[in-house]
Structure 1
Amino acid sequence: MTRVEVEYCVPCGMANRAVDVSHAILTQFGESIAEAALVTGDDGIFVVRVDGTVVFDLSEDAYDVDAIVRAVRPHVSS
């Protein structure tokens, strides 16, 4: 099953964003994913990976929870 990982910068105070994204992913995909993990990081990181593949990187994309969920969708089996 699919594993989603949200790595976020702790010193930057991005925990709330990480929780919001994880909540949206769990709400949308429920039992279709095996795990939605929060991974602590630093240096401004905010990256969402699905089975190791980066689907969102804050350094390249604008933060938008709905867009992140849409980016995860093609990687999740129904």
Structure 2
Amino acid sequence: MSARPRIVIVYCTQCQWLLRAGWMAQELLSTFGEDLAEVALQPGTGGVFRIEYDGDLIWERKRDGGFPDVKTLKQLVRDRMDPARDLGHIDR
């Protein structure tokens, strides 16, 4: 495995999406733990909600039609980090 990735969740403060962003960060840290360098929360405005993996956009609320469910988010991160990794019940 290469260097540990950095995840950034950019959320809209005007829309009060901090709790959603924090929950998603918690889920990623619970699942991937020490395989991640960090999960950062970055405040934004204007309805923004996007998730970046080492600077690459993996989810954007407007482009992708809403928010990812946790299963989808974990699969997106896993597919970039370690595609052969089994996520247990999430993959079933």
Give me the TM-score of the superposition, normalised by structure 2. Answer: 0.78
Task: Give the equivalent residue in structure 2 for 1:21.
Answer: 24
Structure 1 counterpart SS, 2:11: strand
Higher relative contact order (CA 8 A, sep 6+): 1
Gaps of at least 5 residues in structure 2 are 86-92
Work out which of the residue numbers 51, 67, 72 in structure 2 matches 1:67.
72
The Cα shift of 1:65 comes to 2.0
The structure with the largest helix share of the pair is: 2
The structure with the largest strand share of the pair is: 1
Task: Give the equivalent residue in structure 2 for 1:44.
Answer: 47
The Cα shift of 1:75 comes to 2.1
Give me the TM-score of the superposition, normalised by structure 1. Answer: 0.91
* Aligned residue pair count: 78
Residue identity over aligned pairs, in percent, reads 31
Work out which of the residue numbers 50, 54, 58 in structure 1 matches 2:57.
54
Gaps of at least 5 residues in structure 1 are none
- State the AA in 2 paired with 1:39: Q
The Cα shift of 1:60 comes to 2.2
Structure 1 stretches of at least 4 aligned residues deviating more than 6 Å after TM superposition: none
